[in-house]
Amino acid sequence: MTAENPTGPLAGRLDDDDYPAFTVGRAADMLGTTQGFLRAIGEARLITPLRSPGGHRRYSRYQLRIAARARELVDQGLPVEAACRIVALEDQLQEARRINAANLSTSRSAAGPPAAA
C-alpha cells in the first residue's frame, strides 16, 4: 500500500469531501468549538451528520467547512439560527453560480467560434 493508492476501507475516500470521517469530538476540536455547537447547527438543519452503525455522529470535510463559517458568524455576535440561515443562503448562491458558469460554458462551446465580420 502506498500513500498515493490506499487500500482497505478508506481506499478512494481520503479525498472525498462528503465522506463522514470525523467524530463529533474530533470535529469540535478541529473547529475550536464545542460538541453542543455542532448539535445546535444540526438542530437548525444547517448540516445533518451521518450516523455510524453505533449511532454516533460523523461529519465530512464539507460539513466542517459549513460549520466553520457558521461559527465565524456566531463569533461576530449573530444568533445560531441567523448564522445558519446566512450560511445556507451563501451555499445556495455558490451552487447557483457554479451551475450558471457550467451552463454558460456549455452554451458557448455549442455555439462554436464567433463569425468573422
67-95 pLDDT, tens digit each? 999 999 999 999 999 999 999 999 999 99
Instruction: Kindly tell me the sign of the dihedral angle through the C-alpha atoms of 53, 32, 18, 77.
Output: positive
- Angle formed by the axes of helices 61-75 and 35-43, to 10°? 100
In the structure grid, which three cell numbers stand for residue 22, read together?
470525523
**What order do you get walking across the sheet with 50-51 strand by strand?**
22-23, 57-59, 50-51
| In the chain, % of residues over pLDDT 90 | 70
Q: Which residues is 57 bridged to in the sheet?
A: 51
Q: Which residue type sits at 111?
A: A
Would you state the pLDDT for residue 116? Answer: 64
Q: What is the mean pLDDT of the chain?
A: 87
pLDDT at 9 over 80: no
Would you state the pLDDT for residue 28? Answer: 97
Contact of 19 with 27, CB cutoff 8 Å: no
State how far the Cα of 61 lies from the Cα of 74, in Å rounded to an integer.
20
Would you state the pLDDT for residue 12? Answer: 60
Would you state the pLDDT for residue 16? Answer: 84
What's this model's pTM, rounded to 2 decimal places? 0.75
